[in-house]
Chain A
Amino acid sequence: METILTDKNLDDVEQNIFEERAERLSRTELKKWTELSEIDTTVIDKLKGPGVKLLMGPRGSGKSTLLKFAYYESLDSTTVLPAYVNYSQSLALEPLFHSQANALKLFRQWVLLKIIIGIHESVNEINHQIDQEINSRASIAKSIIRDLEKGNTPEILELETSPSELIEFLESVLQKVSRNRCVLLLDDAAHAFSIEQQREFFEIFRQLRSRKVACKAAIYPGITSFSHSFNVGHEAEVIEAWYDPAEDYYLPLMRQIAHKRLGTDIITKLGSGFDEYVSLLALAASGQPRGFINMLSEVVGDENNPKTLTRRKTLNAIDSCASYVDGVFRALSDRLPRYKDFVTTGESIKNIILNSCNEFNKLKIPEKKIQAFGVKEPLNIKLEKIFQFYEYAGIVRKLKTHSRGKTGSYQRYQLHSAIMTSGSGIGLGKTFSTSDLIKSLSNYDAHDYCKISPSKLLKDQVESLALNLPACVSCGSDRVAADQKFCMKCGSKLTEASLYKELLQKPISALSIPRKKIEGISKHTKLKTIEDIVLDEDQTLRSVPGVGKVWSARIRNLAEEYVSV
């Protein structure tokens, strides 16, 4: 059921046309601006259906959009009661692990109570009379969650639940609203930067199922740690949420999204090259809608006064997209400080791969240029870790292994097209036509790829990689193992600072925003750290020249994202 747009939410709509995060879009906005492919419909059906599912994709691949669609469609059904729950704030609970012996228990309650709130919202959405019990539970749950996310720890929780109690509660709600099944759509469930939280989450996830209740969770590739008793494949079906640019549906779908977001008026003002440039942006987005929308926003600029699209603007937007994806990868060294050297080495390896691809591509005609490379197996476990980080950031997409008989097998990866373009991996040289670039990014011949031996990928450096573990503060001895709790030499407790607090204190320059904007913020405001931006209720950012509605919202989003999963 489409909601009628009022003047008030029309204003919101205009502010949001370049909002790239589905979880921040209203139901109307999501339906209005999103185009679904047949594959999406199949995935959404699986999300609405029974059975446990893991929706896997890198940042910006459309996981939230799919979950939100499944949510709204389930609401509109008469049989399924959905709950959409977003766990992106999980990192805010991380400091508790440094100060509370019962932190794991509190985290567990946070996960479960958020589901109670989600179900309360759903019952509200379907306009069902909410009974006192659901209201009261949701209200207590909200207050506990607010406290926990602020770092306050109530001595006794006013409401506590377990997976089995929650299932009982959900089934009682089902009965009250006369629906047959409940699907729990758990977004940003990866808790990517705390293995402890991830494992606990999947333990709960495993237990939260019954004949009538099924969980679905969005996770990142490469870096998700499951609990010991959670057997992926056996416990849950993994569904990939990532458009494949090689498929016929891809370009028309992305063009449709652009048309839906911009509307005919803006598109007309953007000039006759619009279709070609949009195709290029879609290919450069490498199947990631968020990247595509961001690039679209950059080339259109001020939507109230759009200027003709140019090749320069388009290529600049592709460069920005590449640096955003690179930035997500680089930020791992802040978010997973133990892997700092892996990230640094990973950046060098990425450049070697790009150079190899450039060499491979440079003499080929555009239609034969490739974006895939294969690394001869077996891969060193440390090199594999770097590739897993690439997958998380979206720098590469893992493809099937290719066996070449006696010459061995190659683990194939598809490089992000914006990175290929921006980093010259495509091998077009300095002067090339837009159509040649489009042709180059359109070849997805699965059998043709650049073969690279692991020995070319900084073999010695990779083998000598070690985790960056802080030494013992008492005696200065190095740590022997990653999970070491005490110094083996002096017996002192080894301490680690709170990651969340450290991230909040990082300078604004840690965000992937243009240098000029960072300089502007430093010059015209007192905002210095990520925390300053997150807490900037007065929208001080808007006082910076060149930072309007769209950019201030984007910078805030980036800051919030920086301290989220």
Chain B
Amino acid sequence: MSNLFGTPNEKETSTTLNIESCLTIATTSNRSAIDEYEENSKKFIVLAATADNNNDKLQIRLLVLGLVSSCEYYFRRILSEAVSICPTSRNVCTKYDITYAAATYFSEKNIGLALTDSSVFSGSNNIISETKRLTELNVRDSASLLAALEEYQKVCIIRHATVHSYGFIGGKNFTDLKIKNTGHYEVALTFEAFQEIADVCLNLVRAYNGQMWISIISRMITKESLKLDSSLDDIDLFSKLVNVFWSSTRLEKFTGIENLYQSIVDANKSSSEIPIPAKKHKK
């Protein structure tokens, strides 16, 4: 290259990334996806509180990435695990190809994660479409969940600006956020704002988890893959399902999965069917 035009910055050097220094063997959690999410979320909250004490707004902004990433991981886990237990979802997924790389990378236990390998959950529409694609369940059936997704979309825009433009809000993001005033905006978060974001994410995870539990268990009962006949196989299948969806604190209230199973059997005896959210059509 010609040196006729001067050197505007310091010269680059030879740099290679030792990728092994960046990675370690992953430890998989035995806890449910929602438990894992809530634990991760708590860590980010505490870090944000500390960052706020140090008036470190940059750190708070970066913590949003961690929080949304943790949220995305929840969706990967819950969908892959639901697919592995729910026969209808599994049947739906049999038609999808997964790459050889994914098949060899994930263990048999985690093969469901291969189904979401190229999925993105940092957007409400992605969550809706991936849920439909993998489970044939319609997230739009729950108004509460839809409201939670709407709010999550705002968080995703903040995350997008943080990831892709150092916090500066782009033109499309500006329009999507429906900001009334004009001007060039950037993400600036205090602990109060971070709390709002964390609340939106937690609310979404809780709304989604609750809705998916009801949808999947009611479908399994309707299709008689879960018989509620108190047989060992049935209780075993139920236990697997509970381990996917239930938070440990909620489960503690039933002092064990057997009691929860029995309460559902009893409730179904008295009402003849588990309450399935009725679809109402807008007039």
Contact = CB atoms under 8 A, between A and B. Distances in A.
B140 to A, nearest CB: 9
Contacts of A154: 143, 280
Interface string A90-116: 000000000011101100000000000
B144 A491 contact: no
B195 A484 contact: yes
Contact of A158 (B43, B147, B277, B283): B283
A486 B45 contact: yes
Given A485-B199, A491-B42, A156 B143 contact: yes
A488 B45 contact: yes
Contacts of B198: 485-486
A506 to B, nearest CB: 25
Going nearest first, the 6 A-B pairs with the smallest beta carbon separation are A491-B42, A102-B147, A491-B45, A101-B148, A488-B49, A101-B147
B146 interface: yes
B46 A490 contact: yes
A483 interface: yes
B44 A493 contact: no
Contacts of B46: 488-491
Q: Interface of chain A, helix or strand or loop or mixed? A: loop
A492 interface: yes
A137 to B, nearest CB: 10
Contact of B207 (A101, A156, A489, A490): A101
A446 interface: no
A156 B281 contact: yes
B279 interface: yes
Interface centre among A101, A105, A140, A483 (most CB of B within 10 A): A101
A159 interface: yes
B195 A486 contact: yes
Nearest to B180: A229
B145 interface: yes
Interface in B142-165: 142-148, 151
Interface in B256-283: 277-283
Given A486-B45, A486-B195, A491-B46, A100 B144 contact: yes
A507 to B, nearest CB: 27
A153 interface: yes
Interface centre among A102, A105, A484, A489 (most CB of B within 10 A): A102
Contacts of A492: 42
Contacts of B44: 491
Given A155-B278, A155-B279, A485-B199, A102 B45 contact: no
Interface in A490-546: 490-493
Contacts of B151: 101
Interface residues of B, number: 33
A485 B142 CA distance: 25
A155 B142 contact: yes
A488 B48 CA distance: 8
Contact of A153 (B141, B143, B278): B143
A485 B196 contact: yes
22 contacts: A100-B144, A101-B144, A101-B147, A101-B207, A102-B147, A105-B143, A155-B141, A155-B280, A156-B281, A156-B282, A157-B282, A159-B283, A160-B282, A483-B192, A485-B195, A486-B45, A486-B195, A486-B198, A489-B46, A490-B46, A491-B42, A491-B49
B280 A102 contact: no
Interface string B176-219: 00000000000000011001101100111001000000000000
Interface centre among B151, B203, B280 (most CB of A within 10 A): B280
B84 interface: no
A102 B280 CA distance: 17
Interface string B241-252: 000000000000
Interface in B32-74: 41-46, 49
Interface of A: 100-102, 104-105, 140, 153-160, 481, 483-493
B141 A493 contact: no
A167 B203 CA distance: 33
Contacts of A486: 42, 45, 195, 198-199
Contact of B277 (A102, A155, A493): A155
A526 to B, nearest CB: 26
A490 B44 CA distance: 10
Interface centre among B143, B191, B198 (most CB of A within 10 A): B143
Given A157-B143, A158-B280, A486-B198, 18 more contacts: A101-B203, A102-B143, A104-B147, A140-B283, A153-B144, A154-B280, A155-B141, A155-B280, A158-B283, A160-B282, A484-B195, A485-B195, A485-B196, A485-B199, A486-B195, A491-B46, A493-B199, A493-B202
A441 to B, nearest CB: 49
A486 B199 CA distance: 8
A485 B282 CA distance: 35
B209 to A, nearest CB: 12
A492 B40 CA distance: 11
A105 B147 contact: yes
A103 B118 CA distance: 34
A159 B141 CA distance: 16
A158 B141 CA distance: 14
Interface in B8-45: 41-45
Nearest to A105: B147
A76 B46 CA distance: 63
Interface centre among A105, A481, A486, A490 (most CB of B within 10 A): A486
Contacts of B146: 102
Nearest to B43: A491
Nearest to A484: B195
A481 B192 CA distance: 10
Contacts of A102: 143-144, 146-148
B20 to A, nearest CB: 32
Contacts of A155: 141-143, 277-280
